[in-house]
Copies of this chain bind each other. A is one copy, B any other.
Amino acid sequence: MNDLDVVGKAPGFKKPELSQAKLEELPRVKVMDEKGGFRDAEITGERPLTIYVDKHEIVTLMTLGGEPELLTLGYLYNQRIIHDLREIRSIQVDWDVDASVVTTWNGIDGLQERLGQRTVTTGCGQGTIYGSILDELENIELSSVRFSQEIFYNLLKRIKDYNEVYKRSGSVHGCALCQEDEVLVFIEDVGRHNAVDAIAGKMLLEGMNGKDKLFYTTGRLTSEMVLKVAQMGIPILISRSGVTQMGLELARKTGVTLISRAGGKHFLVYHGFDTLELDAKPSL
């Protein structure tokens, strides 16, 4: 994402027109508890959203619907269907037909072929981008960073206030783009890949650079998660949960610092032992 910080701020640049089709309300349904009592409960929204680019159907994502335009943008970017924000003329989401309609200025070269290519590398939720993106690893260069433990603890405190939908109905993953101890963007979705994609969309749209950012997720640090964050140029990845073997391997290859089990004063660093300046070690 080398051009993220340039494109959005280029003089004369015209931002794409985006609809504002955020779904806010959580659906409520009747549930029965273990005593046979009935009550209302909120459940996590999950709706299909089919992305069309210049009238070609690209994919159907299941989403909470909180940021459908950013999700569309980030998905197209992370799948390398678009390479530059300037290609996009507009994104119009219409929940009446569960569609996100993308119009480009000049069409996408070889769109059909690229859709065909994805087949083999797509792996039932795990290896979605495995084959194609792994080749790009060589080109990733992350800046080496130092980060204060004290500021890190402040950040963890602030993140705790987010996770709204999670607290209300569960069943979502939250992802946050952070700088120092501030949460710049927080997005929840039923799949964490959607949340990551939506944040990538936000970065692309706003011309944000990843190199001085941290990425937080409630979900596990799997291979795909690490790859996506590395692609976004973000050097530090934090999770409330654990790390998988391939996630760690890819962190070592790309240089992403991996901090897991982060909550309260606790955390475990899996890669990048020098990144945190331990200036606020808890007393025994």
Contact = CB atoms under 8 A, between A and B. Distances in A.
Interface residues of A, number: 73
A281 B34 contact: yes
A208 interface: no
A180 B158 CA distance: 45
B57 A244 contact: no
Of the listed residues A58, A116, A170, the one surrounded by the most CB atoms of chain B closer than 10 A to its CB is: A170
Given A61-B126, A128-B124, A242-B170, A35 B282 contact: yes
Interface string A118-137: 11111111111011000000
Given A43-B245, A222-B46, A223-B46, A127 B34 contact: no
Given A59-B127, A125-B193, A32 B269 contact: yes
Interface in A44-77: 44-48, 57-63, 75
A107 interface: no
Contact of A190 (B126, B130, B193, B282): B126
B119 A194 contact: no
Of the listed residues A116, A193, A246, A261, the one surrounded by the most CB atoms of chain B closer than 10 A to its CB is: A246
Interface in A158-215: 169-171, 190-191, 193-194, 197
Of the listed residues A58, A244, A268, the one surrounded by the most CB atoms of chain B closer than 10 A to its CB is: A244
A44 B79 CA distance: 26
A163 B123 CA distance: 24
A23 B124 CA distance: 21
A194 B127 CA distance: 11
A59 B120 CA distance: 5
Contacts of A122: 59, 118-119, 122, 128
A61 B36 CA distance: 42
Given A36-B278, A220-B170, A126 B45 contact: no
A124 to B, nearest CB: 5
Interface of A: 27, 29, 31-36, 41, 43-48, 57-63, 75, 79, 115-116, 118-128, 130-131, 149, 169-171, 190-191, 193-194, 197, 220-224, 241-248, 261, 265-270, 273, 278, 281-282, 284
16 contacts: A29-B270, A32-B268, A35-B278, A35-B281, A35-B284, A45-B244, A60-B123, A62-B126, A62-B127, A119-B119, A122-B122, A169-B242, A171-B221, A171-B222, A190-B220, A190-B244
